Structure 1
Amino acid sequence: MLPLHADENGHCLVLFDGAGTADLGDILCPPAAWAIDLGAASPDQGLDRLPARLLVRAATTTMVAHDVVNVVVAALIERLPRARSIEMDLRIVLQEAVSNAVMHGNLCLDGRLRGSREGLSLFTQTMQRRLGDPRFGHRPVTIALDWNQAYLVVRVEDRGRGFRPPATSLPVEAKACSGRGIGQIRALCQRVIFTDRGRRITMRFGLPPSQPAT
């Protein structure tokens, strides 16, 4: 078990070093509810604006090196078994949102480059170079989950330069190298909102009713 801390709001949190951790599977073991990567730039910035019963903030390099989405989803199901009915959709949506936050947000990569062999090579080289640059690689990605009896709300936030999200999701060709993720997210969520100039996506899922005690 990693050392536990309590912040000023009473959250039981784990502070970890994503660069020096071989496995992140235990960072959200109860009673820990928040996990903060000390390798992330300004790790506590803006946390007071993110209502969350479950939260992970990790450096971009940590997000690339580890399956943080799996850790978060497993921790959620442990705490909220009713969410198992939307587990697959949640995994897909989180993978898309986190991938966008890492690649297009914090690393500022242009997905259109992957449309050609030369462009894909440039995309890969630029990605590796920026992951090794603390100005990009240490930027945090935050996954925050909150819920009540009816809804699960998931927020993913990056510290990139932002973008202007499309007002609606237009059909995207199956072979397109970019633009499919947002459409897929909107198709699987009840509601999707972009804020902070596109750096934060808020996604809402409906939850099945609680089973009455027998």
Structure 2
Amino acid sequence: MVILDIQLEDGNAFDLLNQMNPEDIDFKIVFMSSYQSYLEEAVQFAAVDFLKKPFDEGEFVLALDKAIDSINDIEYNQRLSVMFNNLNKNQAEKIMLFQLDSGPYTVPLVEIECGEAKPGGAIFRLVSGSDFKVSIPLRRYEILLSKYGFFRCHPLFVINLNLIDAIDIPTLTIRFKSGHTVPFEDWRRPSLLKKYNEAKEQDLSQG
């Protein structure tokens, strides 16, 4: 097991790991960082063990216990591959790894239509119409996804602004290109419209 600070004096953790093939890494890594960055996000998108500094003794012990418990995780190299993939991709190509009861499940961000908070976790709906459930609260994903065109429009919903077809203000509903609808709170409307217009402008500039 390796405890590795993301920011090093002469580079970063990925400069070091890039010298190795992810498939050849036969040890578990617990990453540490003291501030938010795209490097930190790459780790969290891949659901790799992570410690936010400063941390207390209890958090450190839990992180070590988790790493030890996953010592025989056969999908660990898949997580590392997701992490390295996201470091070298633009926003439209990033993928996220979700930990399901059946194992890790990777999904491109562009295919996530919305997330809905549920007791004991959240349900994510895809543009295909299929969905899957995770045991981690939606607010944890909201923090990660907010920089990538997602917005909390309602206490129960985080939506992909890039997949909106129309915003119906009289009925306080959002219709996606798939035809699926979700509600939004009226007090969030100004921020919703602002973020939606920003997402459209960004999409046009990239197109």
User: TM-score w.r.t. structure 2 length?
Assistant: 0.30
- Which of the two has higher C-alpha Rg? 2
Higher relative contact order (CA 8 A, sep 6+): 1
**Larger strand percent:** 2
- State the TM-score, normalizing by the size of structure 1: 0.29
